[in-house]
């Protein structure tokens, strides 16, 4: 599984919002994500646990490896403790080598081109709605969810 952070700009509020995604590199589906005005280690722990639950891997002995860059969320003690608790291997790519996490980098390039660049967000609620709708439509295209199934 690949994990990465992408930020977007809310021009109406002159601030950033963050998108953190967990992508399964085998089927290239975004398993889960976090959108927020902050993106902290606690959010990463939450979506990691959610990804394991969604893929019915939480209680399995064999877990996927999670690969990330070296951002503060990924090197935090909180996340490392969670990986230990979840019995997961956390693999960090070397600095300045985004090609080592190419699947998630590619996905975030696509969301930049197909979503962020097509909208000028005036508010966080608008950004949240547009990005969530984009994520939902991608999940439908990949067959990960049925139409009208809504993430709560």
| DSSP type of residue 27 | T
The per-residue pLDDT for range 121-152, each reduced to its tens digit, is 999 999 999 999 999 898 888 766 666 555 54
- Tokens encoding 79: 């996340």
User: Does residue 134 or residue 28 have the better pLDDT?
Assistant: 134
The per-residue pLDDT for range 112-129, each reduced to its tens digit, is 999 999 999 999 999 999
Domains and CATH numbers, the chain: 2-142 (3.30.420.10)
> What does the pLDDT read at residue 148?
57
Main-chain phi, psi angles of 17, to 5 degrees: -125, 165
- pTM comes to 0.87
Q: Positive or negative CA dihedral for 45, 48, 52, 53? A: positive
> What does the pLDDT read at residue 152?
46
The four Cα atoms 8, 78, 70, 59 give a dihedral, to 10 degrees, of -90
């Amino acid at each position: 599984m690949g994990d990465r952070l992408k930020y977007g700009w809310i021009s109406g509020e002159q601030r950033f919002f963050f998108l953190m995604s967990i992508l399964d590199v085998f089927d290239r589906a975004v398993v889960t994500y976090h959108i927020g005005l902050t993106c902290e280690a606690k959010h990463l722990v939450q979506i990691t646990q959610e990804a394991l639950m969604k893929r019915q891997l939480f209680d399995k002995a064999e877990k996927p490896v999670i690969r990330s860059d070296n951002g503060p969320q990924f090197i935090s003690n909180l996340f490392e403790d969670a990986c230990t608790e979840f019995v997961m291997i956390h693999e960090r790519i070397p600095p300045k080598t985004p090609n080592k996490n190419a699947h998630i980098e590619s996905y975030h390039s696509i969301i930049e081109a197909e979503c962020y660049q097509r909208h000028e967000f005036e508010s966080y609620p608008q950004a949240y709605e547009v990005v969530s709708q984009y994520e939902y439509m991608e999940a439908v295209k990949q067959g990960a969810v049925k139409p009208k199934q809504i993430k709560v």
